[in-house]
Amino acid sequence: MTQRIVIENCAIATVDADDTEYANGYVVIAGNRIESLGAGRAPGQLADVVRRIDATGHLVTPGLVNTHHHFYQWITRGLATDHNLFDWLVALYPTWARIDERMVHAAAQGSLAMMARGGVTTAMDHHYVFPRGAGDLSATIIGAARDMGVRFTLARGSMDRGESDGGLPPDFAVETLDDALAATEETVRRHHDASFDAMTQVAVAPCSPFSVSTELMSQGAQLARRLGVRLHTHGSETVEEEKFCHELFGMGPTDYFESTGWLGEDVWMAHCVHMNDSDIDAFARTRTGVAHCPSSNARLAAGIARVPDLLAAGVPVGLGVDGTASNESGELHTELRNALLINRLGAHREAALNARQALRLGTYGGAQVLGRAREIGSLEPGKLADLVLWRMDTLAHASIADPVTALVFGAAAPVTASFVNGRQIVADSHLTLADEDTIARATREQARRLAGLAAGA
């Protein structure tokens, strides 16, 4: 018996190929799939309806998809607040290198909880710090996502270029080339699920050109393609990175990535702020994706990514929270607004992005970047039932006639319900599968513990 949930009397933004919207419509969830949706009331005589939701005053959208994050940074928020990227990394790497399994579990819970209660249904974590003896960090991150009920991609990161080799991280914070490759392959084999409705997937994700050897980049790409998984890294984030690449490799970041096998439709890069026309052409030609992180880019004074130009060229673009040591709010729904506003400060001004383009970045664009556009990212029959009910009839939004404009331009909207794989994980802006106060206490305790270890080192 397939149980059904019927959601009625709501505005709907499907974010499908035609941007279909309904001022008043319904969605039928059957098991873990969207069975039907449309204008007016749901079809009569539906069998096995276990719940009907009167969503009057709500906007229903696809769940938000986060394409770049560093969960462990939840316990180092509020530090190095007036630094650019390189200075910020140098300031924080010695602290990050002392994380362990308990700290990472608490930080993952905090990061996931903040995103989930704000409308994220698919999250990802780029974890690249693996101190010796710290425990099974990949498994504890994946376990936290499973317990929260969130669909999840772990980008198993790595660093093998320490300070003695001209990199930024301290030597004790990096792995050897062989250890990084072996551990990454083991993580993929243990945890990656390639099925249509997978709740956990794994990507191969060396950290960045200034913390990873050329051998790890090229062999990491080969490993990912041998295993049939996606590739992720940081790219073209700052002018300092571009200078670093020219000095070390004799070429800019995009050319370097191409030389190591790191452009392609199975690749997505975080940030991509400092890209010229030929860089954008290369990404468009190879269908390489971009995770746009507007708040972090502003926090670290990295610059304004050329998102309108990337989209016009056909580059897949999604949104990312980025680590909460450079975006302390830890929320993705605020990035819809920030992406729109920050990009309007760029060359295209008021024509840079509109409300519906911003929503698409946070939903279907993110699904494209993670390689899951067939399954999630839009509301269509047969797709997985990952969707959010945003309440739009409160003081914050009630006087804005267009609900999509209200969602993107207005204050952060309350989440009345969030469903992942047909299962409700948020009710009235609170988690249904975890206790937020318990998570808050754990993150505070582990943040203090880490600060104490770092101070005593």
Q: From CA 81, how far away is CA 17, in angstroms rounded?
A: 40
3-state SS record for 108-166: HHHHHHHHHCCCEEEEEEEECCCCCCCCCHHHHHHHHHHHHCCEEEEEEEECCCCHHHC
Predicted confidence (pLDDT) at residue 102 exceeds the cutoff of 90: yes
pLDDT in tens, 227-264: 999 999 999 998 988 898 999 899 999 999 999 999 99
pTM score, whole prediction: 0.97
**Length in residues, the chain:** 457
pLDDT value of residue 244? 87
Predicted confidence (pLDDT) at residue 457 exceeds the cutoff of 80: no
H or E element that contains 395: none
| 153: nearest Cα among 107, 185, 121, 182 | 121
Q: Order of strands, edge to edge, in the sheet holding 64-65?
A: 64-65, 120-127, 151-158, 200-206, 231-235, 267-271, 289-292, 317-319
pLDDT in tens, 80-97: 999 999 899 989 999 999
Mean pLDDT value of segment 194-214: 96
pLDDT in tens, 51-74: 999 999 999 999 999 999 999 999
Q: From CA 89, how far away is CA 128, in angstroms rounded?
A: 13
Are the beta carbons of 205 and 128 closer than 8 angstroms?
yes
Mean pLDDT value of segment 177-201: 98
pLDDT value of residue 369? 98
Q: What are phi and psi of 300, to 5 degrees?
A: -95, 10
Q: Concatenate the DSSP letters of all residues of 276-311 into one string.
A: -HHHHHHHHHHT-EEEE-HHHHHHTT-----HHHHH
pLDDT value of residue 167? 81
